[in-house]
């Protein structure tokens, strides 16, 4: 088992737009140990989300090497990337990104679909993970029937149910009030502390950053470690 | 999961689902209605041809004559004919000969037919017209006629005679039905067909059933027995057991025949044994029509050619050629459906497919973040495409089923509102009697225009056939596939990174 979960070497990511080429990431070199709690901070447009996409296998670098849990992703096929995301990565979004027509339990279940888990096992795993985030009695509710904090808990359950290697969260508390924000942060911290998961959180909240063991700062595509 | 997800999507996004389904339903309903109407018109055309030429007839033979050759249709009235009273005379003349301008086919011709390879069987008939003229003419016309050259009859009942002849001073007009030299007469016509009483598989008897009494049998050959067409019998108040006079000879009515095709009359008004018809009309051994059955369906084309060659003076028509001779509102309806109906339903169908595809694609656009998220958590593109396709196909099947409902309503409307159509078989010399016989009063357009048994009333009876049903469902599936493929293609191109886009 590789000691470092992430190894990024000379990673650059550029986007071609009508206004010209945008260098979202520029010669990034970062290594992250397994089980770390990582915070990513920086001004808007700095490249935080772009970095998270590379860490989650949602996209590939323009140049450089991104090694996730020992696997080089820069030359992976779309199929292998999907497999990697399905098996190892739990994503949490600022806008929760739940499927509006599916219930809480069904939303959690979507993460097990690509893994080919048998229906009976799916149900028990979904129930267990919903209990873990404190939503045992909300499984049959639609997202629209849940509060913002509850929706984000469903999203966390969806990320956890696959038993991921890493949890990646892009401003997970950006749309939540202060009280709820602390709950969610507490939940994510607990995953890192109690289950030893690698948790990467993009945040504007310096309180979260204080508790992280790796603090990355991105300005104009350049990463510095605090 | 696919099924749960699909069910939820379709029921939660009911508006999108129902717009797509309704669009397809209208289009498919239209296709169903048009196909059913078209099928019923085609069936009706087949029915008309069957009534005219019989079920098993592949090829029909007749011999055209020269229209307008006055001879055979002329009535000649001499000065000592009829009963003279009050300066007028009453006449009754009957012409009884082959219908239309047709000429007789001889026994020799029949032998030629029998000897032609590919002929599986044939039957021949003698189609005759009985035209009876009853009139009252003033004496002076007849006298003048007899002095000068014989002239044609005055044209049209009640018209003033216009006789330009002689250098003698004409006497003042007198006599006639109005006492001032007028003439009055009427014309009764009916068709008589001499048939082989033993033949019921080919020819006119193959499409009739008995409504009363019996049909002619082999034992009737040589006897004065007649079978009447049901509608002719009704109109003329004839029934089984009664008699009918044909060319002055009394026939016993033994049966009433009904066309097996609904809404259609049989090909002639009266049927009598062939030999009797031949004797009565002085056409011993001769016939007017031959109905030929080929040994097989494949042989029809070759047989048509062989018979055309063997009988150069005759008109040889295959069933498909006969089909093109059907005219009347039925044909108009057929071409209307063929052109406008098919064009319209194709256009509406394409529009519905386009709407379905565009709405599906716009649905995919609205769900960009949803699909991006599913990709981000590990769903492969193929699974998402399948999801979109499944939703689209189920939607269109709903549309297809609704469309069949719409189609059934359309069919009911067609059957309810469509007028009874008429079909005439004519335009082929000797086969039909489209115009009046030449040289007859009113022969073209006048009130005395004879109408023979070759115009049929046809009621449309559109039904939903399994083929149409299958087509409807197949079309709806096709619409769903097209829309789903387009939407799925759009979904497959979405990047998982779309999930992180902060468009709320
Ligand atoms: N798909 C894309 N196409 C073009 N440009 C992009 C794309 N994604 C990101 N960018 C550009 O790359 C740069 C970094 O964007 P990124 O979303 O990573 O910033 P961020 O740090 O997450 O900002 P925020 O705090 O506002 O979320 C920006 O200039 C952005 O416009
Ligand atoms: Mg961002």
Instruction: Tally Cβ neighbours within 10 Å of residue B77.
Output: 19
Query: What's the pLDDT band for B490 if we cut at 50, 70, 90?
Result: very high
Query: What's the pLDDT band for B5 if we cut at 50, 70, 90?
Result: very high
Q: Suggest the residue from A95, A105, A117 to mutate for an interface test with chain B (most B CBs closer than 10 A).
A: A95
- Please write the tens of the pLDDT for every residue from B291-303: 888 887 778 888 8
DSSP B104: P
Average pLDDT, chain B: 78
What is the three-state SS of A24-68?
A: EEEEEEEEEECCCEEEEECCCCCCHHHHHHHHCCCCCCCEEEEEE
Of the candidates B117, B230, B135, B244, the residue with the CA atom closest to the CA atom of residue B187: B135
**Yes or no, beta carbons of A100 and B370 under 8 Å apart:** yes
* SS3 of residue B493 by DSSP: coil
Pocket test for ligand 1, best of A12, A13, A15 (most atoms within 8 A of CB): A15
Beta bridge partners of B94: B132
Range from A36-50, B6-20, B191-205, B455-469 carrying the lowest mean pLDDT: B455-469
The response to whether residue A47 sits with its C-beta less than 6 Å from ligand 1 reads yes
Task: Write out chain B residues lying below 8 Å of A200, CB-based.
Answer: none
Q: What value does the mean pLDDT take over residues B439-468?
A: 54
**Yes or no, beta carbons of B500 and A100 under 8 Å apart:** no
- Please write the tens of the pLDDT for every residue from A30-61: 999 999 999 999 999 999 999 999 999 999 99
pLDDT at B247: 87
Residue B103 has pLDDT above 90, yes or no: no
- Find, in chain A, the residue whose alpha carbon is nearest to that of B2: A113
Q: What is the secondary structure of A100-129 as a DSSP string?
A: TTS-HHHHHHHTTGGGT--HHHHHHHHHHH
How far is ligand 2, taken at its centre, from the CA of residue A49, in Å?
4
Of A94, A97, A113, the CB nearest to B373: A97
**Yes or no, beta carbons of B13 and A91 under 8 Å apart:** no
**Yes or no, beta carbons of B504 and A95 under 8 Å apart:** yes
Range from A68-77, B437-446, B494-503 carrying the lowest mean pLDDT: B437-446
Q: Suggest the residue from A82, A107, A155, A204 to mutate for an interface test with chain B (most B CBs closer than 10 A).
A: A82
Beta bridge partners of A68: A6, A71
Pull the structure tokens for residue B256: 């009433």
Locus of tokens 């025949």: B257
Torsion B30-B36-B41-B45 (CA) sign: positive
Query: What's the pLDDT band for B430 if we cut at 50, 70, 90?
Result: very low
- What are phi and psi for residue A16, nearest 5 degrees? -90, 125
CB–CB of B405/B25 below 8 Å?
A: yes
Of A85, A93, A162, the CB nearest to B500: A93
| A95 contact B CB<8A | yes
Q: What is the Cα–Cα distance from B450 to B328, expressed in whole angstroms?
A: 17
**Cβ within 8 Å of residue A89, ≥6 positions away:** A56, A57, A164, A165, A166, A168, B378
CB–CB of B476/B408 below 8 Å?
A: no
**Cβ within 8 Å of residue B270, ≥6 positions away:** B190, B191, B192, B193, B226, B227, B228, B229, B232, B244, B246, B251
Dihedral, CA of residue B153, residue B159, residue B164 and residue B169, to nearest 10: 120
* SS3 of residue A81 by DSSP: helix
DSSP H or E stretch at residue B421: strand B421-425
- Please write the tens of the pLDDT for every residue from B262-281: 666 777 899 999 999 999 88
Closest approach atom of ligand 1 to CA A50: 18
- Please write the tens of the pLDDT for every residue from B311-334: 888 888 877 776 666 666 777 777
Q: What is the secondary structure of B365-397 as a DSSP string?
A: HHTHHHHHHHHHTT--HHHHHHHHHHHHHHHHH
Q: What is the pTM for the complete model shown?
A: 0.66
Q: What value does the mean pLDDT take over residues B348-357?
A: 88
Locus of tokens 């700095």: A46
Range from A53-62, B100-109, B122-131, B373-382 carrying the lowest mean pLDDT: B100-109
Which ligand sits closest to the CA of A26?
1
Q: What is the secondary structure of B318-337 as a DSSP string?
A: EHHHHHTTEESHHHHHHHHI
Closest approach atom of ligand 1 to CA A204: 25
Q: How many helices (H) and strands (E) does chain B have?
A: 13, 17
The fraction of chain B above a pLDDT of 90, given in percent, is 24
Pull the structure tokens for residue B236: 């003329």
**Cβ within 8 Å of residue B320, ≥6 positions away:** none
Range from B250-254, B259-263, B483-487 carrying the lowest mean pLDDT: B259-263
Average pLDDT, chain A: 93
| A83 contact B CB<8A | yes
- What are phi and psi for residue B443, nearest 5 degrees? -55, -30
Q: What is the Cα–Cα distance from B199 to B196, expressed in whole angstroms?
A: 6
Task: Write out chain A residues lying below 8 Å of B497, CB-based.
Answer: 53, 58-59
Pull the structure tokens for residue B269: 């008004």
Pull the structure tokens for residue B164: 């330009």
Residue B70 has pLDDT above 50, yes or no: no
| A9 contact B CB<8A | no
**Yes or no, beta carbons of A94 and B502 under 8 Å apart:** yes
Altogether, the residues listed in chain A come to a count of 226
Q: How far is CA A43 from CA A30, A95, A202, B311, in A?
A: 19, 19, 11, 101
Q: Suggest the residue from B12, B376, B492, B497 to mutate for an interface test with chain A (most A CBs closer than 10 A).
A: B376
What count of Cα atoms within 13 Å lies in the side-chain half-sphere of residue A20? 2
Query: What's the pLDDT band for B75 if we cut at 50, 70, 90?
Result: low
Pocket test for ligand 1, best of A16, A22, A62, A200 (most atoms within 8 A of CB): A22
How many angstroms away from the CA of B359 is the closest CA of chain A? 18
């Amino acid at each position: 088992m590789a000691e470092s979960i992430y190894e990024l070497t000379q990673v650059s990511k550029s986007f071609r737009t009508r206004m010209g080429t945008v260098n979202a990431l520029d010669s990034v070199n970062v290594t992250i140990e397994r089980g770390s709690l990582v915070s990513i901070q920086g001004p808007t447009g700095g490249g935080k989300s772009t970095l998270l996409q590379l860490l989650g296998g949602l996209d590939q670098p323009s140049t450089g090497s991104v090694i996730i849990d020992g696997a080089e992703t820069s030359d992976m096929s779309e199929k292998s990337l999907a497999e990697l995301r399905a098996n190892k990565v739990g994503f949490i979004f600022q806008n929760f990104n739940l499927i509006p027509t599916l219930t809480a339990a069904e939303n959690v279940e979507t993460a097990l679909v690509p893994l080919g888990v048998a229906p009976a096992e799916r149900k028990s795993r979904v129930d267990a993970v919903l209990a873990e985030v404190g939503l045992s009695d909300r499984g049959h509710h639609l997202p629209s029937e849940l509060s913002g904090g509850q929706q984000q808990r469903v999203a966390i359950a969806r990320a956890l149910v696959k038993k991921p290697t890493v949890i990646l969260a892009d401003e997970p508390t950006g749309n939540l009030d202060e009280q709820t924000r602390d709950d969610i942060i507490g939940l994510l911290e607990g995953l890192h502390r109690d289950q030893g998961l690698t948790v990467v959180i993009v945040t504007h909240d310096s309180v979260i950053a204080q508790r992280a063991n790796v603090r990355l700062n991105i300005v104009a595509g350049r990463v510095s470690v605090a | 999961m696919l099924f749960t997800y699909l069910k939820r999507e379709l029921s939660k996004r009911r508006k999108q689902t129902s717009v797509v389904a309704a669009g397809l339903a209208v289009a498919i309903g239209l296709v169903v209605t048009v196909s059913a109407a078209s099928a019923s018109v085609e069936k009706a055309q087949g029915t008309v041809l069957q009534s005219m030429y019989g079920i098993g007839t592949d090829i029909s033979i007749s011999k055209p004559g020269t229209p307008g050759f006055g001879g055979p249709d002329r009535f000649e009235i001499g000065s000592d004919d009829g009963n003279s009273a009050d300066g007028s005379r009453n006449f009754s003349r009957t012409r009884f000969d082959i219908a239309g301008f047709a000429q007789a086919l001889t026994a020799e011709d029949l032998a030629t037919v029998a000897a032609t390879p590919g002929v599986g069987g044939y039957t021949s008939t003698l189609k005759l017209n009985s035209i009876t003229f009853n009139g009252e003419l003033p004496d002076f016309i007849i006298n003048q006629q007899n002095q000068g050259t014989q002239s044609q009859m005055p044209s049209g009942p009640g018209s003033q005679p216009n006789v330009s002849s002689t250098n003698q001073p004409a006497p003042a007009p007198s006599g006639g039905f109005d006492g001032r030299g007028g003439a009055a007469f009427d014309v009764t016509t009916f068709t008589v067909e001499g048939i082989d009483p033993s033949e019921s598989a080919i020819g006119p008897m193959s499409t009739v059933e008995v409504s009363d009494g019996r049909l002619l049998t082999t034992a009737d050959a040589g006897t004065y027995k007649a079978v009447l067409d049901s509608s002719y019998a009704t109109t003329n108040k004839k029934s089984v057991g009664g008699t009918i006079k044909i060319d002055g000879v009394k026939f016993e009515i033994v049966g009433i025949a009904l066309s097996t095709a609904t809404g259609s009359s049989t090909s002639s008004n009266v049927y009598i044994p062939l030999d009797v018809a031949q004797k009565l009309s002085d056409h011993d051994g001769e016939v007017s029509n031959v109905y030929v059955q080929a040994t097989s369906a494949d042989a029809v084309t070759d047989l048509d050619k062989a018979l055309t060659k063997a009988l150069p003076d005759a008109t040889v028509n295959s069933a498909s050629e006969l089909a093109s001779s059907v005219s009347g509102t039925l044909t108009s309806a057929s071409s209307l459906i063929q052109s406008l109906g098919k064009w319209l339903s194709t256009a509406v169908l394409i529009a519905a497919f386009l709407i379905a595809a565009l709405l599906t694609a716009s649905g995919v656009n609205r769900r960009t973040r949803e699909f991006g998220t599913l990709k981000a958590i590990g769903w492969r593109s193929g699974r998402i495409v399948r999801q979109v396709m499944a939703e689209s196909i189920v939607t269109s099947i709903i549309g297809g089923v609704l469309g069949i409902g719409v189609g059934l309503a359309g069919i009911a409307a067609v059957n309810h509102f469509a007028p009874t159509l008429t079909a005439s078989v004519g335009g082929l010399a000797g086969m039909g009697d489209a115009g009046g016989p030449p040289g007859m009063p009113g022969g073209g357009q006048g009130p005395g225009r004879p109408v023979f048994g070759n115009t049929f009333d046809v009621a449309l009876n559109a039904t939903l056939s399994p083929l149409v049903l299958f087509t409807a469902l197949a079309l709806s599936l096709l619409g769903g596939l097209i829309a789903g493929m387009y939407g799925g293609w759009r979904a497959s191109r979405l990047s998982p990174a779309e999930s992180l886009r902060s468009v709320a």
